[in-house]
């Protein structure tokens, strides 16, 4: 259980750290007239991939739950 909690916490810290770093660099780039610093994550692409992932997961979950409901009703008669 502690391992799973550690993995989840580590993922949140990694993504949160990247987001904070990129947010700080975006604010610094607005006030700076020099070259724009690179971000760690392309957040537009990450958002699109997350949307595709969540839509696919939702469709798969719906199919699985429908199949389970059909089997449950079949066993109940």
Please, are residues 24 and 32 in contact by the beta-carbon 8 Å criterion? Answer: no
Query: pTM (2 decimals)?
Result: 0.55
Task: DSSP letter for 37, please.
Answer: P
pLDDT digit of tens for each residue in the chain (77 aa)? Answer: 899 999 999 999 999 999 898 888 777 666 666 666 677 788 888 889 999 999 999 999 999 999 999 999 988 87
Q: Which of 71, 69, 50 is nearest to 61 (CA)?
A: 69
Provide the token pair at 73.
């009703």
Ordered by start, the domain boundaries in the chain are 1-41, 42-77
pLDDT for position 30: 66
pLDDT for position 41: 80
């Amino acid at each position: 259980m502690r391992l799973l909690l550690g993995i989840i916490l580590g993922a949140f810290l990694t993504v949160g750290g990247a987001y904070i770093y990129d947010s700080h660099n975006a604010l610094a780039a607005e006030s700076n007239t020099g070259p724009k610093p690179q971000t760690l994550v392309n957040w537009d692409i990450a958002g699109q991939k997350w949307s595709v992932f969540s839509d696919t997961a939702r469709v798969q979950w719906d199919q699985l739950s429908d199949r389970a409901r059909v089997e449950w009703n079949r066993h109940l008669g």
